[in-house]
Amino acid sequence: MLVLGLSGNFSARDSDLVPLMPDQLFHDSAACLVRDGEVIAAVEEERFNRIKKTTKFPVNAIRACLDVAGVTVDQLDGVAYYFPEEFVDTTLNFFYTVHPKVPTVYCRQLIKQWFAEEFDWDLADDKLVFTPHHDAHAVAAVARSGMPESLVLVLDGRGEENSGTVYREAGGQLEKLADYPVFKSLGMLYLNATQLLGYGFGDEYKVMGLAPYGDPAPFRDAVSSLYLLGDKGDYNLLPNMTVPDLVGPSMLARGITPRRKGEPFTQQHKDFAAATQEALEKIVLHVLTHWAESTGLSRLCFGGGVAHNSTLNGNILRSGLFREVFVHPASHDAGASEGAAFLAADQLGGAARPVRRSRTASSGPALGTEAEVRDRLGAWGAVVDFERHEDIVPVAAGLLADGAVLGWAQGRSEFGPRALGNRSIIADARPAENQTRINAMVKQRESYRPFAPVVTAEAAADFFDLPATEANYDFMSYVVPVREERRPELGAVTHIDGTARVQVVDPAANERFHRLVAAFGERTGTPVLLNTSFNNNAEPIVQTIDDVVTCYLTTDLDYLVVEDFLVRRRSADPSADLDTLVPRLRPVTRLARRLGTGAVAAGPAWHEISLDYAGAPVTRVSEGLFTLLSVVDGVRAVGELAKEAGVAPDEVRAELYELWQQRYLTLTPA
């Protein structure tokens, strides 16, 4: 049986279903194709439309999954969605009421319209299945865990009317044991704290990374006043208060100063982050302690967005509550597309799922055949040189040992937010300066945020204090202590509290990546690399050859490795080579000329470029560049467009390069 699972909402590439649709509404668009209980392909829409945590309908992800499997839509036995139909339609009704000019079309028809318009397929009603959200999260985790029986915990911002659910799973059957309603949402509690610290939705992991710089003691009483632990694994979040009002007013009344985006962090902010993280861990361990003891279950599957809190996960391991723990590599809402597909297959009469531990998250599309990779790199020949090596591993290991920072792109992309060796930026994990160096050259992010290590399975216990609890270290899901004697040796990946979010790699999980880490170890005596996601701060993780080369050319990475090819810039200044590249405005790119206002007469006009989605950036541009961008047609190169616009290329080249770095537009070979 072949079933396609979906997450996300129904918005088009260049517009939202309703104006100003919140980015928290049906987010993490993705598609997952399941055949007879096995994941064939899974990928997030953000990898194609280049919008982080995109909500837009996953049409590109659907097409990619079908291509990977070599099937067409008319071969599908079912299509599954990650929320119940009634819940989605009720939510849409609210927005249709606020925006009465938007046609009222409900989710079933919206999905059918997408398949009709994009794939020329009439999706039959009896093939379209809507699933409970937390059930989808739970089944996704269980299906990959290989556990014959387990306790299952799902925690996120919200499902339908719940924010947490506890299950017993055995023999492919889920038994719901408890629900935690939306007004007890730990996901929303953490998001409220995140917003108080100047961040937004999707930035919760940054607060987790900030917490070790603080001391929870100054805010322990204040944050503890936000919740009350109850009997039998229950808890309350400030009775008689709604979750959106929970953190801000209480903390403001206790003297905390909110941080605005871009402002420095004070020690007060760090202490508050530490107290928030401590509270989350205390509540979750309270829940798990009760259910582990009352059920006698010794294995745990953890899913939902809160399961991406790897510090929490490490503490679950160290608690000793369970013999074994499994965390889904895409435990956020994208992963629920996978669970929805499994649930739909069950409902439609599919075969029982095999009980088998998943060792890889690389279920996205591949980069292409050797010939396809060579051809596409060749198209970039005006700006890069490349050469193929019979065995790229020793070449890359030598460059890393000599201090180079590499972009490393191999095979099929990872499903989920972690780069695990197929779309990675890698470097020597030993020099502490590599942490600040990579932040400056690529990420341009907050200096406190740690990078993760990848270590060979053979050496993992020598460098990291791994708890006795069995766990899947394949997916960077757990923060564990770095052995004290090894901390000076791992300066670039040891966090301020002596911990690291570790990935353990072996040949079964990723043969080439394991060989690379091992080869680096043979040269240096330290089989550990710094491994971070291959992207800059303006984009999701790279997917295609064009994404990979673009990120390389718009950062200060030393070299690029794509499959067996070593790639180098032709010029030390990539902005000097833009004239031969073709600019294209993204579907969400907007150009505008603004007129200033004054008390007596109009002020000076200015020009700006923006991206049209929730939380997207906007920036001013010069009149010359605005004129050039106004004649972009996706066919002609920068040099030719500059002539038509009457602009000297030298006058706009640096500015155009900055827009490319910030992903307002694309530049690719003709």
At 118, which CATH number?
Answer: 3.30.420.40
What pairs with residue 562 in β-bridges?
409, 565
In a domain, 142, yes or no: yes
In a domain, 252, yes or no: yes
Task: Give the Å distances, CA to CA, from 339 to 34, 132, 134, 153, 434.
Answer: 10, 10, 9, 14, 39
d(CA 545, CA 550): 8
d(CA 32, CA 5): 5
In a domain, 338, yes or no: no
- Among the candidates 529, 552, 569, a domain finishes at 569
Rg (CA), the chain: 25
* Burial (Cβ within 10 Å: 0-12, 13-18, ≥19) of residue 13: middle
Task: Give the Å distances, CA to CA, from 162 to 102, 182, 185.
Answer: 29, 5, 8
Residue 175 shares a structural domain with residue 281: yes
Measured in whole angstroms, the distance separating CA 7 from the mean position of its chain's CA atoms is: 14
Residue 530 shares a structural domain with residue 583: no
Residue 293 shares a structural domain with residue 411: no
3-class secondary structure, 181? strand
d(CA 187, CA 159): 11
Residue 42 shares a structural domain with residue 58: yes
d(CA 408, CA 414): 13
Residue 296 shares a structural domain with residue 378: no
Residue 550 shares a structural domain with residue 581: no
3-class secondary structure, 282? helix
| The pLDDT value given to residue 577 | 86
Three-state SS annotation for 186-208? HHHHHHHHHHHCCCCCCCHHHHH
Backbone φ and ψ for 540, nearest 5 degrees, come out as -75, 180
- Among the candidates 534, 551, 569, a domain finishes at 569
Of the chain, the percentage scoring pLDDT greater than 70 comes to 98
3-class secondary structure, 252? helix
Read off the pLDDT of residues 174-206 as tens digits, 9 standing for 90 and up: 999 999 999 999 999 999 999 999 999 999 999
Domain boundaries, position 495? 370-569
In a domain, 352, yes or no: no
Residue 443 gets which letter from DSSP? I
Residue 52 shares a structural domain with residue 171: no
What parts of the chain have a pLDDT lower than 50? none
* Burial (Cβ within 10 Å: 0-12, 13-18, ≥19) of residue 245: exposed
What CATH number has the domain bearing residue 424?
Answer: 3.90.870.20
| The pLDDT value given to residue 21 | 80
Residue 401 shares a structural domain with residue 445: yes
Task: Give the Å distances, CA to CA, from 78 to 74, 89, 133, 364.
Answer: 10, 20, 17, 20
Residue 292 shares a structural domain with residue 426: no
- Could you tell me if 274 and 211 are in contact, meaning their C-beta atoms sit under 8 angstroms apart? yes
Backbone φ and ψ for 135, nearest 5 degrees, come out as -60, -40
Count CB neighbours of 564 within 10 A: 18
In a domain, 360, yes or no: no
Residue 519 shares a structural domain with residue 631: no
| The pLDDT value given to residue 277 | 99
d(CA 102, CA 433): 53
Mind giving me the DSSP string for 353-396?
Answer: PP--B------S-----HHHHHHHHHHTTTTEEEEE-S-HHHHH
In a domain, 355, yes or no: no
Q: In what order do the strands lie in the sheet with 128-130?
A: 38-44, 30-35, 2-7, 78-81, 128-130
In a domain, 157, yes or no: yes
Burial letters 162-177, b for 16+ CB under 10 A, else e: bbbbbbbbeebebeeb
In a domain, 343, yes or no: no
Residue 67 shares a structural domain with residue 199: no
Residue 51 shares a structural domain with residue 188: no
- Among the candidates 102, 130, 158, a domain finishes at 130
Q: Are strands 503-505 and 452-456 parallel, antiparallel or unpaired?
A: parallel
- Could you tell me if 434 and 427 are in contact, meaning their C-beta atoms sit under 8 angstroms apart? yes
| The pLDDT value given to residue 443 | 73
Measured in whole angstroms, the distance separating CA 386 from the mean position of its chain's CA atoms is: 30
| The pLDDT value given to residue 239 | 65
Q: Are strands 565-569 and 618-621 parallel, antiparallel or unpaired?
A: unpaired
Count CB neighbours of 255 within 10 A: 9
Count CB neighbours of 449 within 10 A: 16
- Tally of domains in the chain: 4
